[in-house]
Homo-oligomer: A and B are copies of this chain.
Amino acid sequence: MKIALAQLNYTVGHFDYNTSLIIEHINKALLQQVDLVVFSEMSVCGYMPHDLLEQHDFIVRCDTALKQIAESCIGITAIVGAPVVNKAQKGKKLYNAACVLSEGKLDKTIHKTLLPTYDIFDEYRYFESNDEYNIVELKGERIALTICEDLWDKQPSAYIGAKGALYKKSPMEELAKQNPSLIINIAASPYSYNQGNIRQTVLKQNAKKYKIPLVYVNQVGGNTELVFDGDSMVLDAQGEIINQLLRFESDFKIIDTDNLVKPINDVTNKGSNYIKEIHDALVLGIKDYFGKMNFKTATLGLSGGIDSAVTLALVERALGAENIKVLLLPSKYSSDHSVADATALADKLGVEYHNLPIQPIVDEFENTMKSVFVGTKPDVTEENIQARVRGTMLMALSNKFGNILLNTSNKSEAAVGYSTMYGDMNGGLSVLGDVYKTDVFKLARFINKNTEVIPENTIIKPPSAELRPDQKDSDSLPEYALLDAILFQYIEQKLSASEIIAQGFSADVVKKVLHLVNINEYKRFQTPPILRISSKAFGFGRKMPLVAKF
């Protein structure tokens, strides 16, 4: 049987667009005598529509789109993903379904059993879990059709210290009783820098355990904070990957189940390093945020420091220099080299910039507030005024010309609250908010690998917020290598203070860092959406109580 894997980029709720895109690829498959074309999970409506799923008219639009797509399935079968209504009297009113379309109609519907409800996933909020298992027969193949998490029955619990698996059910064990000859899995599995390996391991385990080939189709593209990396693939009955689609790009490939051999000189599955992956994920994330929101142009504040430099380089790759206007906003504490470094980068990339010193406005704020501040000493208040003047100027540019402000904070800063609300925390999208400072340096080196884009001086000088004379980040924070190591153990690994200290870190430093993370939940509550590239990003995937003592 000839199967086409359609790895495409959908927009949530954009039924006209998603439907045309799917039909276009059905027609493309038809031209090449394909028997079955497979699209990804929830492809009809885009993943994830969240509470739009509670709106009746949204589900009606899904049904209509399904019918339209089915009409184009003459002489070919398609599998698409969509929410469908649960007609039973009890239970959640929707299923997350894989719909088999052929002969112009909806032929069969398979429901998802394992509903991920952890980190950024909240599928049990909307969907009932399946408990009926049926093979799909097509052209002599007996297909075990599953949806994403259905193959992840060995998923560990998010609760640290847990033993055993998160789920009680195993859809593949049930389906295996009916002698399938092929596993098809349609997915919406977002990128994080460790997800690629885990995903391959899970898929290999399934193919090997059940001794049948596996076709895996994931979606691609950015959706607010999530970036889907594609990485669709085909494995043989021994669990070897014999075909793999592109990462971070739409792709379309045809395979033949009668001839599952690895192509000679196949360049798939090349060992890529995680910095390149993060780079590609962020560029795609920016591009799709703008494209899907119908935005074209961006702005940001260029300080001469590494965060704004790396952000600008990524934005330039996503949107093009002609669509960016940046502001240099030096204060009296900004060093000459900061302005020089910022100017050099803007010139190098060919980006329009304006240099607007902020001191007159800052002075006017201090002048106006002085009757209230009488008898007080300068403190963080005056530092924050500078950051907020910059934030207001960038938003003014954004309002006047429609350029979307991009936030340039990194994950280390966001974690410890080393940032000013309504100042440098402003923006429609945070590009580096899930990238630790030490990785921001690596990204800068990666961006410069062929030619110097980011000035060397920006990379080698000691990080500074330049909000008071001779300020260095290291005055307030541990060195970033140490800070990031502790943050990783606490945020990604969810270890306690004592467990981190037991690894050999200084108790004082660990306690200080964890305290900073905890008392700054209120700041992160109001941050822009953050492009997610790790297994635990700030945002929807990390729901910490704001009022709490722990």
Contacts and interface: CB of A to CB of B under 8 A. Distances in A.
A525 B360 CA distance: 32
Nearest to A163: B89
Interface stretch (A49-57, A101-109, A190-198, A254-262): A49-57
Contacts of A400: 369, 372-373, 376, 379, 381
A54 B159 contact: yes
Contacts of A125: 117-118, 122, 124, 543
Contact of A360 (B94, B168, B368, B543): B368
A520 interface: no
A50 B545 contact: yes
A232 interface: no
Contact of A94 (B124, B126, B159): B159
A320 interface: no
Interface string A1-27: 000000000011111010000000000
B547 A292 contact: yes
Contacts of A527: 526
A509 interface: no
Nearest to A225: B546
A297 to B, nearest CB: 14
Contacts of A426: 421-422
B372 A354 contact: yes
Which of A157, A288, A544, A549 has the most chain B CB within a 10 Å cutoff?
A549
Contacts of A526: 526-528
A209 B499 CA distance: 51
Contacts of A52: 544-545, 548, 550
A142 interface: no
Contact of A399 (B51, B89, B381, B496): B381
A491 to B, nearest CB: 11
Contacts of A288: 547
Interface stretch (A269-277, A383-391, A458-466): A383-391
A176 interface: no
A366 B354 CA distance: 15
Contacts of A118: 125
A453 B360 CA distance: 41
Nearest to A497: B57
- Give the top 9 A-B pairs by smallest Cβ distance, nearest first: A13-B550, A12-B548, A89-B164, A57-B496, A14-B549, A93-B162, A381-B399, A56-B161, A93-B159
18 contacts: A12-B547, A13-B549, A49-B548, A51-B543, A54-B159, A55-B494, A56-B496, A90-B166, A117-B122, A222-B547, A292-B547, A358-B368, A365-B393, A369-B396, A373-B400, A388-B395, A391-B422, A525-B529
Given A89-B164, A222-B547, A357-B368, 18 more contacts: A11-B548, A15-B550, A46-B548, A49-B545, A52-B550, A54-B158, A54-B160, A56-B496, A92-B159, A92-B166, A93-B166, A224-B546, A361-B361, A369-B396, A379-B399, A525-B529, A526-B527, A540-B543
